[in-house]
Amino acid sequence: MKVALAGAGAFGQKHLDGIARIDGVEVVSLVGRRLEPTQEIADKYGVGHVTTELDEAIAQPGVDAVILCTPTQMHAEQAIACMDAGKHVEVEIPLADSWADAQAVQAKQKETGLVCMVGHTRRFNPSHQWVHNKIQAGDIKIQQMDIETYFFRRKNINAAGGARSWTDHLLWHHAAHSVDLFRYQTGEEIVVAQAVQGPMHPELGIAMDMSIQLKTTSGIICTLSLSFNNDGPIGSFFRYICDNGTYKALYDDLVDGKDAPIDVSKVAVSFDGIELQDREFFSAIDEVREPNSSLNGVLACYKTLHDLEVQMNAQP
């Protein structure tokens, strides 16, 4: 399978690392905002073609699929362009930063029938997979989820500490991970969603602090706290309070409520959630099926985010 990857930043390189461990897949074109640094990354990973234009990458001979690791504001338009060109597409989270754009991508996927997957990586992290498997087996039932997503990002920088050409967002990016995971793990729809946000950053134009509460049809609740002001350990910390045990997850690691480590080495073929996500994308294309974290599977999350945004914008 031949793949074009757009977005040679910190997250794009995580995908390149993961794909390097997947047999039968070749990244044949790399798209970046600036040619020279993109060429350096392409040389490192052995990618033969480099461009600053997505259309040029898509047009490379034999390209089957595209992975988009570009700025959030470009995701919807680029996903539609990929499907218009007949290419399967995996869009890094978030699918879009508006409900209207999310719906536009869904309409194009329905029109083309191509695989369109969104990078909701938490579904693939071995830690969360372990919990999901226990829920599916009937061993545990979630009573409450508590999630903290904390970064120290008062300047416009990326995960690698470099300057960003776009602005990240607590609601449409970071909350998307958790809202979708809550739906996925409970297997229920969200029927109550409420949120408050702190003051807007004078330069970035985004809220730097946010608090969200969710409730499902059967009454399972979730409390989500997000901040770009946190000067301490960074990342997303998940606590599952269940009827039979408590579990805490940080990316691919899992402990119980008393911090005893849980072995998740047998959950999947890798500890790398990004690699597992990409494996699912390629397998879904090969097997002509809808992937876990398909556009259709995650779309309800974006409706919830939209409702929360409307609610917060109406607050004094």
Question: Which of the residue ranges 11-20, 146-155, 215-224, 273-282 would you say has the lowest mean pLDDT?
Answer: 146-155
**In contact, 266 and 73? CB cutoff 8 Å:** no
Q: Is residue 283 part of a domain?
A: yes
Instruction: With a cut of 90, say whether residue 19 has pLDDT above it.
Output: yes
Instruction: With a cut of 70, say whether residue 175 has pLDDT above it.
Output: yes
Pair (31, 89) in one structural domain: yes
State residue 158's pLDDT score. Answer: 64
Pair (207, 240) in one structural domain: yes
**In contact, 105 and 95? CB cutoff 8 Å:** yes
Which is higher by pLDDT, 47 or 154? 47
State residue 199's pLDDT score. Answer: 93
**In contact, 284 and 290? CB cutoff 8 Å:** yes
State residue 160's pLDDT score. Answer: 63
Pair (135, 254) in one structural domain: yes
Pair (197, 145) in one structural domain: yes
Q: Is residue 104 part of a domain?
A: yes
Return the residue matching tokens 């939209």: 306
User: 163 is in which domain, residue-wise?
Assistant: 122-258+301-313
Pair (181, 307) in one structural domain: yes
Pair (94, 177) in one structural domain: no
Residue 148: pLDDT band (50, 70, 90) is: very high
Instruction: With a cut of 90, say whether residue 297 has pLDDT above it.
Output: yes
pLDDT above 70 as % of the chain: 98
Pair (92, 183) in one structural domain: no
Residue 110: pLDDT band (50, 70, 90) is: very high
pLDDT tens digits for 28-86?
999 999 999 999 999 999 999 999 999 999 999 999 999 999 999 999 999 999 999 99
Pair (149, 227) in one structural domain: yes
Pair (106, 173) in one structural domain: no
Pair (149, 20) in one structural domain: no
Average pLDDT over residues 268-286: 96
Per the prediction, the chain carries an average pLDDT of: 95
> Does the CA dihedral 262-189-110-68 come out positive or negative?
negative
Integer Cα distance of 202 and 184 in angstroms: 36
Total number of domains in the chain? 2
Residue 159: pLDDT band (50, 70, 90) is: low
Instruction: With a cut of 70, say whether residue 153 has pLDDT above it.
Output: yes
Integer Cα distance of 67 and 292 in angstroms: 16
Pair (305, 161) in one structural domain: yes
State residue 27's pLDDT score. Answer: 98
Query: Which residues, other chains included, contact 208 with Cβ-Cβ below 8 Å and sequence gap of 6+?
Result: 154, 170, 198, 199, 200, 201, 227, 228, 229
Residue 302 in tokens: 């974006």
Q: Is residue 265 part of a domain?
A: no
State residue 205's pLDDT score. Answer: 87
Q: Is residue 269 part of a domain?
A: no
State the pairing for strand pair 221-227/142-150.
parallel
Pair (80, 178) in one structural domain: no
Strands, E assignment, the chain: 2-6, 26-31, 49-51, 63-68, 88-92, 116-119, 142-150, 190-197, 209-216, 221-227, 235-242, 245-250, 253-256
